[in-house]
Structure 1
Amino acid sequence: MKATQYISTRGGVAPLSFRQAVMMGLADDGGLLLPAEIPQVGDRLDAWRRLDYRGLASALMHLFVGDDIPATEFAALVNRSYERFSRAEVAPVVAVGDLYVLELFHGPTLAFKDVALQFLGNVFEHVLTASGERLNIVGATSGDTGSAAICGVRGRRNIEIFIMHPHGKVSPIQERQMTTVLDPNVHNIAVQGTFDDGQRVLKEIFNDLPFKRRYGLGAVNSVNWARVLAQVVYYFHAAFRVQDRTGCRRVQFSVPTGNFGDIFAGYVALRMGAPISRLILATNENDILARFFTSGVYATGEVVPTLSPSMDIQVASNFERYLFYRCGGDGGKVRALMAQFAGSGRLELSGEDPAFVAGRGTTDDALAVISRCHREHGYLLDPHSAVGVAVGERFRRPDEPTVCLATAHPAKFPEAIRRATGQDLARHPAIEGILSLPTRCAVLPPTRQAVQEFIVSTLGTRC
Structure 2
Amino acid sequence: MRYISTRGEAPALGFEDVLLTGLATDGGLYVPESLPHFSLEEIRSWRGLPYAELAYKVMYPFVEDAIPADDFRKMLDETYSVFSHRAVAPLVQLDTNEWVMELFRGPTLAFKDFALQLLGRLLDYVLEKRNQHVVIMGATSGDTGSAAIEGCRRCEHVDIFILHPHQRVSEVQRRQMTTVQGDNIHNIAVKGNFDDCQRMVKESFGNQSFLGGKTQLAAVNSINWARIMAQIVYYFQASLALGGPDRSMAFSVPTGNFGDIFAGYLAKKMGLPISQLVIATNRNDILHRFMSGNKYEQHQLEHTLSPSMDIMVSSNFERLLFDLHGRDGAAVKALLENAAKGPVSIEDYRWKHARKLFDSDAVDDKTTCDTIRDVYEQNEYLLDPHTAIGVRAARNCRRDSAVPMITLGTAHPAKFPDAIAESGLSVKPQLPAHMADLFEREERYTVLDNNVSEVQGFIAKHWKNA
Q: Report the residue type matching 2:148 in the other structure.
A: A
Amino acid of the residue matched to residue 335 of structure 2? L
Match in the other structure for 1:183: 182
1:59 counterpart residue number: 57
Question: SS of the residue aligned with 1:161?
Answer: strand
* Contact preservation (8 Å) 2:188, 2:446: yes
**Counterpart in 2 of 1:237?**
237
2:326 partner amino acid: G
Shift of 1:67: 2.1
Distance 1:248 1:363 in 2: 38
**Conserved? CA contact 1:167–1:192, under 8 Å:** yes
Equivalent residue, structure 1, for 2:462: 458
1:377 aligns with 2:379: yes
Tell me, in whole angstroms, the C-alpha distance in 1 between the residues paired with 2:345 and 2:209.
34
Counterpart mapping for 1:102-181 below 5 A: 102-181=101-180
Q: Distance in 1 between matches of 2:272 and 2:62?
A: 16
- One-letter code of the match for 2:235? Y
Q: What is the aligned counterpart of 1:323 among 321, 324, 327?
A: 321
Cα deviation for residue 459 of structure 1 reads 2.0
Can you list the C-alpha shifts for 1:99-151, whole angstroms capped at 9, x where unaligned? 11110000000000000000000000000111111111000000000000000
For 1:18, give the aligned amino acid. F
| Residue aligning to 1:21 | 18
Partner of 1:46: 44
State the percentage of identical aligned residues: 45
> Which of 26, 30, 34 is residue 27 of structure 2 equivalent to?
30
Partner of 2:357: 355
2:279 aligned with 1:293: no
Q: Is the 8 A contact 2:146 2:177 kept in 1?
A: yes
2:403 counterpart residue number:
400
Question: What's the CA shift string for 1:421-443, capped at 9, x where partnerless?
Answer: 43142112344311011111111
Give, in whole Å, the separation in 2 of the partners of 1:446 and 1:219: 20
Contact 2:44 2:240 in 1 (8 A): no
Alpha-carbon shift at residue 224 of structure 1 (Å): 0.1
Name the SS of the counterpart of 1:255 in structure 2.
strand
1:8 aligns with 2:5: yes
Distance 1:364 1:268 in 2: 33
* TM-score normalised over the length of structure 1: 0.96
Tell me what 1:419 maps to: 422
Equivalent-residue separation in structure 2 for 1:285 and 1:248 (angstroms): 37
- Equivalent pair of 2:289/2:296 in contact (CA under 8 Å): yes
> What letter corresponds to residue 23 of structure 1 in structure 2?
L
Question: Structure 1 residue 248: deviation in Å?
Answer: 6.2
Task: Kindly report which structure 2 residues correspond to 1:436-455, keeping only aligned pairs within 5 A, or say none.
Answer: 436-455=440-459
Shift of residue 345, structure 1, vs aligned partner:
3.9
Superimposed CA distance per residue, residues 390-420 of structure 1 (whole angstroms, 9 cap, x where no aligned partner): 0101123221110001000000011111221
User: In the TM superposition, what is the alpha-carbon distance from 1:155 to its structure 2 partner?
Assistant: 2.8
Say which SS state the counterpart of residue 256 (structure 2) adopts.
coil
Report SS of the residue matched to 2:311: coil
Q: TM-score, normalised by structure 2?
A: 0.95
Taking the aligned partners of 2:381 and 2:320, their CA distance within structure 1 comes to 34
What is the rounded CA distance, in whole Å, between the counterparts of 2:394 and 2:36 in structure 1?
A: 29
Q: Is the 8 A contact 1:248 1:401 kept in 2?
A: no
Match of 2:271 among 260, 270, 273: 273
How many residues were matched structurally?
456
